[in-house]
């Protein structure tokens, strides 16, 4: 059997029953819709039904951890996210070897081991810190915050290394790496002023503001100041962020007046979806061009138009909200930064498909040629699928508000496009973080214990 037939047979067999036929977007829309009605138990059941294998993948643990958090089961949420961390560490040990292997360029993105986006890894640690804060464990939250700093430094190094590798492989293979060369690709969705204003696709002002708040609560101004300062750099000209840094010294040097420094975090909506959209790639083979239909990932907005407008405490005290992080924009910047690698792999796969189709068309035996053509077209379909996997239960937008309140039970009203949502929260200690999540108009509350 010729080498191209061996490749085709192996890959087509691998297609049967694998992730290439799975629509992650459809699965998660169904899960999110259930959570959007307030039925998180049904959302988790739906997630489980779509992940029946005993060997769960990384995204399962991402989604499960967020759903468990939404029903205030912090230990279960943390357990899921620790499992996700373990899988990330295991995958990263082999990632550099995989990048250099020939199979990494040939195999469809949809059946590759899921490699989380950099912002997903950072947000994982941020939400693990929020789980600790929800149970009053500020020291444990500090550990997750420190891990976030270390992770961002690692990402910066690996990003530079990966870019150099992609550029080298592209030169070696004569492959295209610019998505702007894709006729019809919606360039404006990932290449616009808001996306390009981001420093990168993984650092968030939320993570660094939270770091400042945690360090401040622990009486560590030398660490709190850099957290607030970087939040300001990532989200410039934001009065709320500027005030946090400017007032740090006076807050820590002031006498204890019995009040609680409260940070409201308001998350709205869900992260954007990745969907495959087909484009046509002309590939040169033996002085001929063969057009290969190929699917590339395109970002679509999350399914819910949630937005928080402001907070009122006790019916009178207004707390303004400031948008601090857009995970929607981070996802777009991340895709833009990933596109050279995606384009490289797509070009290699398109060339493989084109060569197989050309060889099938040139076959001297008509019957065998017809069979080979069928196999070649099946292989092309297998190779061209875009990966639509991404952490969907993350919010789309995050805002913050900060206020000093007396300890005790407070009625908090959240103004939204869908009307007013009211929650009662019990505040105690000198510092507290209260996390609200709006999903399809439904309010989820993660009200912590505070810190004494």
The predicted structure's pLDDT at residue 358 = 66
Domain assignment present for 353 = yes
- 118-137 pLDDT, tens digit per residue, is 999 999 999 999 999 999 99
The predicted structure's pLDDT at residue 365 = 56
Domain assignment present for 313 = yes
Domain assignment present for 451 = no
Report the predicted TM-score, pTM, of the whole model to 2 decimal places.
0.88
Domain assignment present for 165 = yes
pLDDT above 90 as % of the chain: 63
Total domain count for the chain? 1
Q: Which residues span the domain enclosing 86?
A: 3-446
Domain assignment present for 293 = yes
Domain assignment present for 426 = yes
**CA distances (Å), origin 295, targets 104, 114, 334:** 17, 18, 18
The predicted structure's pLDDT at residue 175 = 76
Q: Which CATH number goes with the domain that contains 386?
A: 1.25.40.10
Higher pLDDT, 360 or 164: 164
Domain assignment present for 452 = no
- 339-393 pLDDT, tens digit per residue, is 998 888 888 777 776 676 666 666 555 555 555 544 545 555 555 668 899 999 9
Identify which of 101-110, 149-158, 209-218 has the greatest average pLDDT: 209-218
Domain assignment present for 308 = yes
Q: For the residues 79-88, what does the mean pLDDT come to?
A: 96
The predicted structure's pLDDT at residue 424 = 94
Q: Is residue 422 pLDDT above 50, yes or no? A: yes
Q: Is residue 288 pLDDT above 60, yes or no? A: yes
């Amino acid at each position: 059997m010729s080498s191209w037939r061996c490749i085709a047979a192996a890959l087509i067999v691998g297609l049967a029953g694998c992730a290439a036929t799975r629509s992650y977007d459809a699965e998660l829309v169904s899960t999110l819709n259930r959570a959007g009605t307030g039925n998180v138990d049904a959302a988790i059941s739906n997630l489980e039904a779509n992940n029946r294998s005993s060997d769960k993948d990384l995204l399962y643990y991402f989604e499960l951890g967020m759903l468990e958090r939404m029903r205030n089961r912090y230990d279960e949420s943390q357990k899921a996210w620790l499992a996700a961390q373990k899988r990330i560490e295991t995958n990263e040990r082999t990632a550099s070897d995989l990048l250099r292997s020939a199979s990494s360029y040939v195999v469809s993105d949809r059946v590759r081991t899921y490699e989380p986006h950099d912002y997903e890894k950072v947000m994982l640690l941020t939400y693990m810190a929020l789980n600790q804060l929800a149970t009053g464990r500020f020291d444990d939250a500090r550990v997750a915050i420190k891990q976030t700093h270390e992770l961002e430094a690692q990402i910066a190094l690996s990003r530079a290394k990966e870019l150099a590798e992609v550029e080298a492989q592209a030169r070696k293979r004569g492959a295209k790496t610019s998505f702007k060369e894709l006729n019809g690709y919606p360039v404006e969705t990932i290449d616009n002023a808001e996306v390009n204003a981001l420093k990168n696709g993984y650092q968030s002002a939320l993570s660094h503001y939270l770091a400042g708040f945690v360090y401040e609560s622990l009486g560590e101004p030398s660490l709190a100041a850099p957290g607030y300062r970087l939040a300001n750099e990532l989200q410039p000209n934001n009065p709320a962020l500027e005030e946090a840094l400017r007032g740090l010294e006076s807050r820590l040097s002031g006498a204890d007046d019995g009040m609680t420094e409260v940070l409201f975090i308001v998350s709205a909506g869900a992260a954007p979806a990745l969907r495959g959209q087909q484009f046509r790639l002309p590939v040169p083979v033996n002085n001929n061009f063969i057009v290969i239909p190929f699917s590339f990932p395109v970002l679509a907005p999350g399914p819910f138009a949630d937005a928080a407008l402001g907070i009122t405490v006790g019916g009178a005290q207004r707390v303004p909200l400031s948008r601090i992080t857009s995970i929607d924009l981070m996802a777009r910047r991340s895709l833009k930064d990933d596109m050279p690698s995606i384009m490289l792999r797509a070009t290699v796969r398109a060339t493989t498909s084109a060569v197989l189709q050309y060889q099938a068309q040139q076959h001297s035996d008509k019957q065998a040629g017809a069979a080979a053509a069928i196999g070649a077209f099946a292989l092309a379909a297998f190779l061209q699928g875009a990966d639509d996997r991404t952490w969907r239960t993350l919010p789309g937008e995050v805002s913050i508000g900060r206020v000093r309140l007396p300890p005790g039970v407070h009625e908090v009203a959240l103004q939204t496009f869908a009307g007013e949502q009211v929650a009662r929260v019990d505040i105690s200690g000198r510092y507290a973080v209260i996390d609200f999540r709006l999903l399809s108009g439904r309010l989820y509350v993660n009200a912590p214990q505070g810190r004494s």
